[in-house]
Chains A and B, each alone.
Chain A
Amino acid sequence: MLDWASTVDHKKIGILYMLTALVFFVIGGLEALAMRIQLSRPNNTFLGPETYNQLFTMHGTTMIFLVGMPLLIGLAIYLVPLMIGARDMAFPRLNAFGYWLIPFGGLLIYFSFFATGASTAGWFSYPPLSLRNYTLGNGPFGNVGGVDYWSIGLLIVGVGSVASAINLIATILLLRAPGMGFGRMPLFCWLIFVTAALILIAIPALNAALVMLFFDRRFGTAFFDPTGGGSPLLWQNFFWIFGHPEVYILILPAFAIISEVIPVFARKPIYGYEFVAGSGVSIGLFGLFVWAHHMFAAGLSQGVTIWFGAASMLIAVPTGVKIFNWIGTLWGGSLRFRTPLLFALAFILQFTVGGLSGIVFATIALDWQLTDTYFVVAHLHYVLFGGTVFAVFAGTYYWFPKFTGRMLSERLGRWHLWLAVIGLNATFFVQHMLGVMGMPRRVYTYGDFPGWALANGISTVGAVILGSSIVVFLWNMYVSLRHGDIAGDNPWDAWTLEWATTSPPQPENFDTVPPVLGRRPLYELTAQRESANRRQSVGRGQEIVL
């Protein structure tokens, strides 16, 4: 125990991140299920408005800040040093510090449930609703409200994320093994590098805004309070200057995972390495200049609206480049249909659905109809569940053997996959329809408007199926940890450096870091050894058997 609490080993810290995220994932998932039960039929009374509003606030906050970010950061912290042939992160203590802020902030936010009632202002916390006139607690601590816990908790989490971003950037810049230039670095590290840069730029905008919000609430400032001359739109700008890059913070690591998995299971190097890396960089850059597409309905001037609409549409281009390069990698490959590849394929399809509905929103005039409806809920869940979470599933099946030394069960993996695919589409596809049927987001109940009952019923059944897929997944990890096949160093015959060491890797990762001769170090190494052997054997006059 103490061993884990005091560790500065990047692998242990990575595991801690991921386990923390897993716990919050289960909590956030149960919150979602409770909401889906409430919405399963019209005029339902399973949850009241206050409870429902707390749940959707906490569901969003949890999934973004306490699941998505720690999960992906944790994965990066585990893998990046291994992939670049380093012994640890650049700043091991900062690493531990960054991690411990996450559960601490998370617990503070969750404590509000018991202290005052959680925030009911939504994960986006728009003022004036998030100011004290509208969201004040009535718990044992006087007039402290859920939003107060929320803003301080997120600030703590945010500081942790910035620390880990700095650490990842420094690690990638400074600790690469000899021979690993940027042009040879695994795409995973490339895309994590872009992600870390985005965290470093975007999260401070949120942190600053959180401080201002807290001051408005507690100390009578009026940054966002219109009655004191402040501007609610200012918060919206701050929030989305953070919030849109946040989407890429959550999806670029998914791209990173997929860009590692597909080549290994297609038995072929990635098609268009430079273009996958370059499109990642351009997504990161464009992603900083599109935030106001979350405010198309706010009545900004036409010029501003058009600029942000055009920039948002442009992002579809590098995203498309990625998808085509992954498919290009599949083409002409020799596909091994193990669970990681299956999830990667599901990822491409489901993420494409979310990407395309994103184009609908970038089409400003359509945003004017569909924003703030269930169409958005469908869109963001295709991106974040069908995209990020499916990629993490692919990555888990791929790297679990490295983390634990044991393989996950393929049979359970397939159950997991199909339940997840059916569940995802049943839950969220109909929500596109609900948006067109006029159902707004964030309503705790709804009337029996034509079609709403059926669509919501299907969505709730889907959510239960999706939930059951998670149960299978957890069960798979539980049993495989005990009885899974022994993995060995490199069960997938993969090419990046993390597979050159033991599973799980020894404390300082490598005895000696193998020479990096190209983009697939282990492949090039075997090729080199083989040709050396061949030369030797030819020298001895023996036959060459290929």
Chain B
Amino acid sequence: MLEPNWAAAAVVWQLTELQGLLPVFEPASPEARALSELLFWVSILCAAILLLVGVLIVDAVIRYRGREGDLDPPAKTASYKVEIAWTAAPVVLLAIIFGFTLRTMGLVNPDPPRNATPEVVIRGHQWWWEATYPASGVVTANEIHIPVGRMVLARIESADVVHDFWAANLARKIDMIPGRENFVWLQADTAGTYLGRCAEYCGTQHAHMHFLVIAQEDSTFAAWQASQLERPAAPSGTLATQGLAIFSEKACLSCHSFGGTGGNAAPDLTHLASRRTIAAATLTNTPANLARWLRNPGAIKPGATMPNFQLHDGEIAALVAYLSGLR
């Protein structure tokens, strides 16, 4: 049904500076570069054909303008030579494009070796992303860390509906289809943070389903994994300790996971404070935004499955203090 109260809830994306003007033409990996080069040349070719058609029409319009009452011009029968020419020419042109496509496909999407284990498993949920690293057991959300300079095999799955994983600067799009395992090669030339988003319509909050790919030098990446495997320090200070109490009381772990336990319907919170964003890269991860989220998740992502716990300000402050300590 219609939503009369919606206007009250306006959410302003906070990470827009992470993206350039034309991400498709700003490749940061050999795969994305191959795609953008192909797009560039095909676009030029298409523009040339459009120009040709335009010129032919304008030329006809100028040269063959008739006046009312003019006699009909003589009928012409089609020349087979001409017909064959304008059938054959496009065939040749398309064959060339297709050859280049095959080459690019081989570069971007080579079949992974048999029995290859993925380095990272990315699972789409309504409306956030889960990333697990099978080798180390690291679990995180909405942030995909990869080492730079080599191809990283990612397995792509969905927990509910069809989503699509798209990091335009780095790789091709790939659908996340429940009951099916897809894969994609991720790679980044240099360390950096890249914005990606869901490209397949997946329901109410499809619009707010972004993620970050954080490419790191090998040593930084290893350090990150190590830190993710440690349990965060126990809460320090009364406020944070109070927060932990509320956290257990409200059964946040019925959906969220924490240190290997809890539910699997919501982002892992073990190292929440180490992440840069919340709510699938909609807001920066600051205490103020955490408080905003806890006060009413539906005001930021209407339709999101996290309920509004009707927390009062004291509880929110305590929870924020606790969550902000989860490094």
Contacts and interface: CB of A to CB of B under 8 A. Distances in A.
A451 B19 CA distance: 10
B310 interface: no
Interface residues of A, number: 96
Contacts of A359: 42, 46, 94, 97
A533 interface: no
Given A49-B303, A359-B94, A369 B168 contact: yes
A352 B53 contact: yes
A424 to B, nearest CB: 15
Nearest to A49: B204
B78 A438 contact: no
Interface string A223-246: 000110001110000000000000
A50 B3 contact: yes
Interface string A33-49: 00000000011010111
Given A328-B78, A365-B105, A275 B83 contact: yes
B75 A269 contact: yes
A451 B198 contact: no
B206 A323 contact: no
Contacts of B101: 309, 363-366
A299 B9 CA distance: 37
Nearest to B203: A129
A266 to B, nearest CB: 7
A434 B38 CA distance: 18
Interface in A71-119: 116-117
Contacts of B180: 226, 232-233, 299
A509 interface: no
Interface in A310-330: 310, 313-314, 316-317, 320-321, 323-325, 327-328, 330
Contact of B76 (A233, A271, A365): A271
A122 B198 CA distance: 16
A232 B177 CA distance: 7
Nearest to A493: B72
A271 B78 contact: yes
A314 B75 CA distance: 31
A402 interface: no
A445 B98 contact: no
B87 A50 contact: no
Contacts of B66: 267, 333-336
Contact of A373 (B36, B98, B199): B199
A100 B10 CA distance: 44
B288 interface: no
Contacts of B249: none
A298 B177 contact: yes
B202 interface: yes
Interface in B26-63: 34-36, 38-39, 42-43, 46, 49-50, 53-54, 56-57, 60-61
B162 A327 contact: no
Contact of A45 (B2, B6, B22, B206): B6
Contacts of A298: 175, 177, 182
A297 interface: yes
B205 interface: yes
A48 B78 CA distance: 56
Nearest to A50: B3
B128 interface: no
Given A49-B204, A267-B73, 13 more contacts: A43-B11, A227-B178, A299-B177, A325-B78, A327-B57, A356-B49, A359-B94, A365-B108, A368-B35, A369-B35, A372-B201, A437-B23, A444-B206
Interface of B: 1-3, 6-7, 9-13, 15-16, 19-25, 34-36, 38-39, 42-43, 46, 49-50, 53-54, 56-57, 60-61, 64-68, 70-73, 75-76, 78, 82-83, 86-87, 90-91, 94, 97-98, 101-102, 104-105, 108-109, 111, 126, 156, 160-162, 164, 166, 168, 172-175, 177-180, 182-183, 197-207, 302-303
16 contacts: A50-B303, A51-B3, A53-B203, A134-B161, A267-B72, A297-B199, A317-B94, A330-B61, A333-B60, A348-B57, A365-B101, A369-B39, A444-B206, A445-B207, A446-B207, A450-B21
- 6 pairs of A and B residues whose beta carbons are closest in the complex: A447-B13, A334-B66, A226-B179, A48-B6, A299-B182, A368-B172
Interface of A: 42-43, 45, 47-51, 53, 116-117, 120, 122, 126, 128-129, 134-135, 138-139, 226-227, 231-233, 266-269, 271-275, 297-299, 302, 305-306, 309-310, 313-314, 316-317, 320-321, 323-325, 327-328, 330-337, 345, 348-349, 352-353, 356-357, 359-360, 363-366, 368-373, 435-438, 440-451
